[in-house]
Amino acid sequence: MLNELINIEEKERVSFKRHFIRNVVLEIAFDDMNKDALLKNKDNIQNQFKNIGFTKFGEMKQIQFKMNVDEDAPEQIPNDNEVIGLLLFDDKRKIRIELMSNRIIISIFKYLSFDNFVVDVTKMINILKEIMSVDNHIKLISLGKQNTIISTDTKTFDDLTFILNKPLLSSIRESIIPFDNFEYTRDEFSIFKDGYRCKIGSNCLKRENDGEYEINLDISVTDAKQYEFDNLTEKLQNINNFVYSVFCWATSDKFKTIMNED
């Protein structure tokens, strides 16, 4: 199956009647525009983002880590005197933005469609270009989508594994763990294909309600080539098409039929 992924068939993107996208994360890295200039324009940036629906704002603080001998994880200590970026929130559309001097990370938790997504991203980037005179070079574009499916009245692993194709969910597909003892499993791998670095992960976990299980399919595609900002929409469309092709490879025909049910 991994050989099939390396030779993945490109699919023409079509819209399903239903989708299970839980969140979408877009990261765009660009030439550094200077942190001091970013913070100096904080009020102007916030005012412009208010005009497109953002209502809450904050600052990103530098985090330092301190290891303790008797603790497994390092202690996180925020440095309130060192601001490294801005936070912007649109609660109505469930959008969170992390803006730093050399990148913007846009997280959307209420995804409607790719067309709406591109319109929103274009507005955000245009604000930055107008206020900050952002250099015309993009250094990296990374688009990630998490699909979440809830299975209820689950009796056996067969009620779960039909959703995704091999090798995803391999441990429960091979019944390595008895169904009655199962709690959690995860598969993840990375490939380089057509100039993109693609990470694909799946996990399945048992939820609190009896017979209820959650399956997540994570697809993240990164393009690390340099582009002009004017080419952003085209490059996003190309990356999204690749994400769609990977999604079609990862999901079964039976599940895609369910996605087109009314």
| Extents of the domains making up the chain | 1-23+142-262, 32-134
Give the mean pLDDT of 77-98: 86
Cα 261 to Cα 238: distance, rounded to the nearest angstrom = 27
> 247 pLDDT band (50/70/90 cuts)?
very high
Kindly provide the b/e burial profile for residues 50-64, where b requires at least 16 CB atoms within 10 angstroms of the residue's own CB: eeeebeebeeeeeee
Q: What is the pLDDT of residues 210-237, one digit of tens each?
A: 999 999 999 999 999 999 888 999 999 9
Indicate whether 2 pLDDT > 70: no
> Which residue, 206, 203, 213, is CA-closest to 250?
203
Between 164 and 79, the higher pLDDT residue = 164
Q: Output the pTM of the full model.
A: 0.88
Cα 215 to Cα 186: distance, rounded to the nearest angstrom = 10
Q: What is the pLDDT of residues 23-45, one digit of tens each?
A: 999 999 998 888 888 899 999 99
> Which residue, 120, 112, 89, is CA-closest to 26?
120
> 6 pLDDT band (50/70/90 cuts)?
low
Give the mean pLDDT of 111-118: 92
> 67 pLDDT band (50/70/90 cuts)?
very low
The position carrying tokens 């490939």 is 191
Looking at residue 116, its pLDDT comes to: 93
% of the chain surpassing 90 pLDDT? 64
Indicate whether 170 pLDDT > 90: no
Q: What is the pLDDT of residues 138-155, one digit of tens each?
A: 999 999 999 999 999 999
Q: How distant is the alpha carbon of residue 94 from its chain centre?
A: 14
Q: Are 103 and 182 in contact (CB under 8 A)?
A: no
Structure tokens given for 207: 């939820």
Average the pLDDT over each of 10-24, 82-96, 242-256 and give the range with the smallest value.
Answer: 10-24
User: What value, to the nearest 5°, has the Cα angle with vertex 19 and ends 16 and 25?
Assistant: 120
Looking at residue 66, its pLDDT comes to: 44
> 63 pLDDT band (50/70/90 cuts)?
low
Looking at residue 136, its pLDDT comes to: 66
Looking at residue 77, its pLDDT comes to: 54
Indicate whether 96 pLDDT > 90: yes
> 65 pLDDT band (50/70/90 cuts)?
very low
Task: Give the dihedral sign, CA 219/225/231/232.
Answer: positive
Average pLDDT, the chain: 88
Task: Give the dihedral sign, CA 30/33/36/38.
Answer: negative
Looking at residue 81, its pLDDT comes to: 65
Structure tokens given for 31: 């030439």
